[in-house]
Structure 1
C-alpha cells in the first residue's frame, strides 16, 4: 500500500514541482494583463478590489461566531477578515523576505508582494459565507437535501451535489470570479496568484461527498466555475492530482489558512471573555506557554492592575508574533516538499508550544463557546429563515424555467426582486436542457448567501407576511 500524507495525496505519483515564477503570476483572470502602475503592485490592486466590493462590505453584518450580537466589541465576519488579513500580511512578508534572501523567487517579486497576495486572500477567505456563519451553510444544505430536493431532480449528480453540499469556500471563488464587478466575465478580475492562493480545497463537490478527496464534504469549486478553476490552476502551475478536477494546493494557501487559525484561536477567546462565557484565567492558561520566558515576568506584572476585559490587548501582539514566527520558519523548512505537492497541516507542524496553544484554543471554543445557549437558539431560528427564502425563490425560478412568459404574479415579483438581468446569460440556448435550471439555482444561492444576518431575517418576515415597512 502506498503511503499517503496529511491531505491524502499519493506522494509517489507527484513527480512535478511547482515554480514560484508561475505561482506569483500577476496576469489577471481571462489572460488579461495587469496595469503597470507606479508604486502600486497588481497584488495591492487585488486587495483594493476586494475591500471596495459589496460582498466584502456585507461581511460587517454576518456572523463570525455569535449571530446577531448586540455587543459592538464582538467580532463579525468583516472585523475577523480584516484581522486575518493583518496577520496574513505579516506572515507573507516574513516568508517573502526569507525567499528573497535565498533567491528562490523572481527578482521582480518583493517580500511585500508576497505579503500583498496573502493579505488579499485573507481578506476574501470568508467572502462566500452565507448569513449565520457555518449554521447558514448547514441550513442551505439541509433544505436542498430535504424540502428542496424536488428542485434538483433533473440536474446532473455533480450539479445537484453543489447545492446539497453547499460550501462557502466554493461560493467565495464564485463571488471573486463570477458575481462581483463584471458578472460572468471575470468577476473582480483578480490576478492568478491571488485566485490560486484563495482556493483552499482545489477539487469539486461530488468526489468529496463520496469520500474520494482529502476532506470529506469540503470542496472549493462549483461546476459553474469549473472552467475558471482549470484556467487558474494552469496559469499558476498547480500540480494535477490523481482524480478528475483535482489539484494540489497553492503554497500560499497554507499561510492564509494559518493566519485564519491564529486569529480565531486567539480572538474567539477574547469574544468569549467579553461575553462572560470564559474567565481570564481560562484564556491566559492557553496563551501563556507561547510567551517568551524573558518577557513573561514583565507581562504578568503589566496584567496585575488591569481589569480582565483590557488584558487581551496587552499580550495579543506578543502571542501573535510567536505564532507568526513559528509558522514562517515551519513553512520555509518544508518549502521544497510543499512545492512538490506534498501538503502539510502548517499549524500542527509549528513548534510545540504554538501548536498546542492553537489546538487548546480550538478545543475550548468547541466545548464552551459554540454550545452557548444564546448561540444555539439563534442558530435554530436561522434554519427557518433560510428555508423560507429558498422556498419562495426556488419556486419562482422553477416556474420561470418551465414557463418563461407565463408564470404567476408572485413569481414575477420575486424575479423582480432578484433581478432578471442578473441571471447567467449562458442560460439562454444552452445545449444541455437541464443546465439552465442549475445556473438559475446558483443565482439564488448568490442572492441568499449574499444576505446579511439582518436582511435575511427581515426578508423571511416579509415573505411570511409578518414584516415591517422600511
Structure 2
C-alpha cells in the first residue's frame, strides 16, 4: 500500500519554491511560528468570539487565548511524537523532535485565523446571506464551485487563504510559510463543491476555496500527500495532532468558561473531567482542592487532564502510524483510549446543551446576522458595481471601495476564477477579518447610526 514519506512531509521549502533562510537559533519551522504570531490576522483574534460573544468577563476565552492554549498542547504532542519517531528511526536524522513540535504549534496557532467575527455564528450568517435574498441573486450566474464556496463560507478555507494569499504578501505567497506547516494546517483537503455533492468523508466541511486550489495542489505535491481524487488529497499526518489538540482544549476550556460565567455547576464539570483519571488520582485531587475557590480548582484539574489527553494522543498516533502514513485515518480522537473519548464526548455534549443555548449567547448571535447582513449588503453591492464599470464612478461606491482596500488590478491577473468571484473574495477577506467590535461599529456606521 502506498505510503507518505517523512522526508517530504517535513519539507522546509517555502510556498512558491522559495528556499528557507539559514538563521542562527531559528529553524524554518520556528520562523513559521513567528510569522503567524506577528500577523495582523492573528492579533485580531483577541477581539473575536470563541464561544461567548462580546464577553465582559476577562477570564473567558477569546479566539486568541484559545489558539495559544491549543498551540501549547499541540507543541507538546508534536515534541512527544517527534521523539518517538526519532527513537524508532522513522524520520530523517537531520530533523529534531522540536521540528515536529514547531510545525504542529504553527498549525495550531493558525487553526482559527480565518474565522469571521462572532465565531461559528459569523460563518452561518455569511452562508445565510449568500443563500437568501441578500446575496443569492448576486452569485446566481457564477460557476458551481465558485457559488458553492460563497454559500458554504468556511473558516478553515478562509484560514488557508489568509496564510497563502491575503496576509503580508498579497497574491504573492501570503505569509510564505513552509510546505510542511501549510500542509499540517489543512484539516479538510478538498473543495466545497465536492463535499456538498457527498463525495468526501465529511460533507459539511472543506479546507480550500477554488481561488486557492492551485496553491493547495502545490503544497500537497511538495509535501508528498497522497492524491485520493480530483482536487482531493489525504491529510498530512501532523494535521491529526493539530485537530486533536483543538478537541482536547474544547473539552476542558468550554466547560471552564461555563463555570466562570455561572452557567455550569462545578461538580458536574469535575465528574466529566475525571473520566480520564484513575480512582486514586481522583481521590488525591479531591483532597488537594478541598476548600479552594473554583478558579483554583479548575487550574489544578486542568493540568492533570491535559497530561492524560496528551499521553492518549501520542499513543494513538504511534499505534496507528502506518495507517496514518497511508492516508487511511480520518480522525485521531476515534483511535484514543475509550475513557478519553468518553470525556471529550461528554464535555462537548454538556457544552452543547447548557452553554451554547444560554439566552444571552443566543440573543447576541441573532444580532450577528443583522450585523453581517448590513456589512455584506453595502460592501458587495459597491464591489460588484466597481467590477462592472471598471472604476468607482459614484462617490458612495468609491468610498466603500477605498474603505475595503479593493484592488481591481490584482483581479485582472487571477486565472481560473471569474472577476465577480475574485472581488467578492476580497470583500470577504475584509469582513471576515474584522473583530466583533469593529463589525458592530461599522454596521452601525453603514446604517447611519454612528
Q: Which residue of 2 aligns with 1:151?
A: 138
Which residue matches 2:188? 201
Partner of 1:9: none
Q: Deviations over 1:189-236 (max 9, x none)?
A: 000000000000000010111211111121000011010000000000
2:115 corresponds to which residue? 129
Tell me if 1:449 matches 2:432. Answer: yes
Consecutive unaligned residues of structure 1, counting only runs of 5 or more, are 1-14
Alignment correspondent of 2:176: 189
1:431 positional shift: 7.1
Correspondent of 2:411 among 427, 437, 461 = 427
Structure 2 contact 258–355 (Cα < 8 Å) conserved: yes
Matches within 5 A, 1:88-99: 88-99=74-85
Contact 1:176–1:188 at 8 Å: present in 2 too? yes
SS of 1:420's partner is coil
Cα distance in 2 for residues equivalent to 1:431 and 1:290: 51
Choose from 313, 319, 323 the match for 2:309. Answer: 323
SS at match of 1:103: coil
Structure 1 residues 126 and 431, CA, compared in 2 at 3 Å: closer, same or farther?
closer
* SS of corresponding position for 2:381: helix
In the TM superposition, 1:100-119 aligns within 5 A as: 100-119=86-105
**Partner residue of 2:30 out of 44, 47, 59:** 44
Aligned counterpart, 1:462: 445
Deviates more, 1:289-298 or 1:101-110: 289-298
Output one character per residue of 1:239-273: Cα deviation in whole Å (capped at 9) or x when no partner.
011x3100011100110000000001100000000
Gaps spanning 5+ residues in structure 2: where?
A: none
Give the paired residue count: 449
Instruction: Answer yes or no: is the 8 Å Cα contact 2:392–2:398 preserved in 1.
Output: no
**Shift, 1:151, TM fit:** 1.3
Aligned residue in 2 for 1:259 = 245
Out of 386, 389, 397, the residue aligned to residue 383 of structure 2 is 397
Mapped to 2, the partners of 1:430 and 1:365 lie a distance apart of 43
Asked whether 1:57 is paired with 2:43, we answer yes
User: Is the Cα–Cα contact under 8 Å of residues 392 and 401 in structure 2 kept in the other structure?
Assistant: no
Match for residue 213 of structure 1 among 200, 206, 215: 200
Structure 1 residue 233 corresponds to structure 2 residue 226 = no
d(CA) in 2 for partners of 1:339 and 1:429?
38
Distance 1:412 1:170 in 2: 29
- Counterparts of 2:362 and 2:351, CA distance in 1: 14
The C-alpha deviation readout for 1:158-193, integer Å capped at 9, x for no partner, is 111110100000000000000110000000000000
Give the alignment's TM-score, normalised by structure 2: 0.98
How far apart, in 1, do the equivalents of 2:327 and 2:390 lie? Answer: 48
Partner of 1:417: 403
Greater alpha carbon shift after TM alignment, 349-358 vs 457-466: 349-358
1:82 matched to 2:68? yes
Length-normalised TM-score, structure 1: 0.94
2:357 & 2:367 partners in 1: Cα distance? 15
Match of 2:328 in 1: 342
Q: Is the 8 A contact 1:196 1:250 kept in 2?
A: yes
Which portions of structure 1, spanning 4 or more consecutive aligned residues, are displaced by more than 4 angstroms? 429-432
Contact 2:191 2:208 in 1 (8 A): yes
Q: Distance in 2 between matches of 1:403 and 1:275?
A: 51
Question: Aligned in 2, Cα 1:413/1:92: closer, same or farther, shift over 3 Å?
Answer: same
Cα deviation, residue 289, structure 1: 2.2
Structure 1 residue 154, shift from structure 2 partner: 2.3
| Matched residue, 2:421 | 438
